[in-house]
Structure 1
Amino acid sequence: MVSRRQLLQALPALPSALGTSVALAQPIAGKPIRLMVAASPGATVDAAARFVSEPLSKMLGVPVIVENRPGAGGAIGSDAVAKSPADGHTLLFTGVTHFSARYSGEASATYDPVKDFSAIARICSAALAVVVATNSPYKTLADLLAAMKAKPGEIDYGSGGVGSTSHLCTVIMNDLTGTKAKHIPYKGNTQAVTDTVAGVVAFTCQGSGGVVPLIKAGRLRALAVTSRNRWEALPDVPTGIESGIPGFEVASWMGSFAPAKTPQPMVSMVSDAMAKIARSPEFKAFCDKQSMYVELMEHSEFQASVPAEDARWRRVAELIKRS
Structure 2
Amino acid sequence: MMPTRRALGAAALASLAAPAVHAQAPWPSRSVRMLVGFAPGGFTDIVARAVAEQYTTLLGQNFVVENRSGASGTIAADAVAKSPADGSVLLLGHSTPNAVSAALFSNLPFDPLRDLTAVAQIAVHPHLLVVPTASPHRTTESLIAAARVRPGAVSYCSAGIGSVHHTACSMLAQKAGVEFTHVPYRGSAPAMADLVAGRVDMTIEGINTVGPLIADGRLRPLAAGTLARIAVLPDLTTLQEQGYGDIDAASWVGIFGPAGLPAEIVATLGRASDQAMLAPAMQRILTSGGSIPASRRGAEFRDFLALEIERYKAVLGDGKVAL
Q: Structure 2 length normalisation: TM-score?
A: 0.83
Q: Residue 123 of structure 1 aligns with which residue?
A: 122
Task: Pick closer, same or farther for the CA change 1:291–1:114 going to 2, 3 Å.
Answer: same
Name the stretch that deviates more: 209-218 or 54-63: 209-218
| Change in CA separation of 1:210 and 1:40 when aligned onto 2, cut-off 3 Å | farther
Shift of residue 235 of structure 1?
5.7
Taking a change above 3 Å as real, the CA distance of residues 216 and 308 of structure 1, as seen in their structure-2 partners, is closer
Q: Within the alignment, does 1:262 sit opposite 2:261 as a pair?
A: yes
Aligned-residue Cα RMSD (Å) equals: 2.4
How many residues matched? 296
Q: Do the aligned residues in 2 keep the contact of 1:43 with 1:207 (CA within 8 Å)?
A: no
Report the CA distance between 1:259 and its aligned residue: 0.5
The equivalent of 1:133 in structure 2 is: 132
**2:28 corresponding residue in structure 1:** 28
Match of 1:10 in 2: none
Q: Identify if the C-alpha distance between structure 1 residues 307 and 249 changes in structure 2 by more than 3 Å, giving closer, same or farther.
A: closer
Instruction: Give yes or no for contact 1:100–1:316 (8 Å, CA) kept in 2.
Output: no
- CA distance 1:106–1:132, shift in 2 (3 Å): farther
Aligned to 2:112: 113
The Cα shift of 1:112 comes to: 1.2
Could you tell me which residue of structure 1 aligns to residue 53 of structure 2?
A: 54
- The structural deviation recorded for 1:319 is 5.0
> 1:136, 1:322 → 2: CA distance?
26
Cα deviation code 1:100-139 (max 9, x no counterpart): 12443497x4111111111101121001122222211211
CA distance in 2 between counterparts of 1:183 and 1:104 reads 16
User: What residue in structure 2 maps to residue 100 of structure 1?
Assistant: 100
CA deviation profile, 1:150-182 (whole Å, cap 9, x unmatched): 333332111111111111221222233333312
- Name the SS of the counterpart of 1:26 in structure 2: coil
Bigger Cα displacement from structure 2, 277-286 vs 49-58: 277-286
CA displacement, residues 266-311 of structure 1 (integer Å, 9 cap, x when unaligned): 1221122112323556544432201111221011211233333322
- 1:282 and 1:273 map into 2 onto residues whose CA distance is 15
Q: How far has the Cα of 1:254 moved from its partner?
A: 1.5
Shift, 1:90, TM fit: 0.9
Q: Which runs of 5+ in 2 are unaligned?
A: 1-24
Distance 1:56 1:220, change over 3 A: same
Contact (CA 8 Å) 2:85, 2:261: kept in 1 or not?
A: yes
In the alignment, what sits opposite 1:72? 71
Give the match's secondary structure for 1:291.
Answer: coil
> Counterparts of 1:40 and 1:128 in 2: how far apart (Å)?
19
* 2: CA distance, partners of 1:183 / 1:144: 15
- State the one-letter code of the partner of 1:230: I
Q: CA–CA distance in 2 between the matches of 1:213 and 1:201?
A: 19
Compared CA separation, residues 131 and 306, structure 1 to 2 (3 A): closer
* Rounded Cα–Cα distance in structure 2 between residues aligned with 1:158 and 1:298: 32
Pairing 1:32-43 to 2, within 5 Å after superposition: 32-43=31-42
Paired residues of 2:154 and 2:181 also in contact (CA < 8 A): yes
Determine if the alignment matches structure 1 residue 175 to structure 2 residue 174.
Answer: yes
Partners of 1:170 and 1:231 lie apart in 2 by: 22
Identity of aligned residues (%): 34
C-alpha spacing 1:102/1:63, structure 2 compared with 1 (3 Å): same
Question: Where in structure 1 are there 5+ consecutive unaligned residues?
Answer: 1-24
Aligned to 1:12: none
**Residues 74 and 305 of structure 1: is their aligned pair in 2 closer, same or farther, counting only changes over 3 Å?**
same
Whole-Å Cα distance in 2 between the matches of residues 319 and 94 of structure 1? 26
Q: Distance in 1 between matches of 2:188 and 2:319?
A: 18
Matches within 5 A, 1:284-299: 284-299=283-298
Alignment of 1:125-274 (within 5 A): 125-227=124-226, 228-232=228-232, 234=233, 237-274=236-273
Which residue is 2:83 aligned to?
84
AA at the equivalent of 2:26: Q
SS at match of 2:137: coil
* Worse overlay, 282-291 or 50-59: 282-291
Q: Which has the larger displacement, 159-168 or 187-196?
A: 187-196
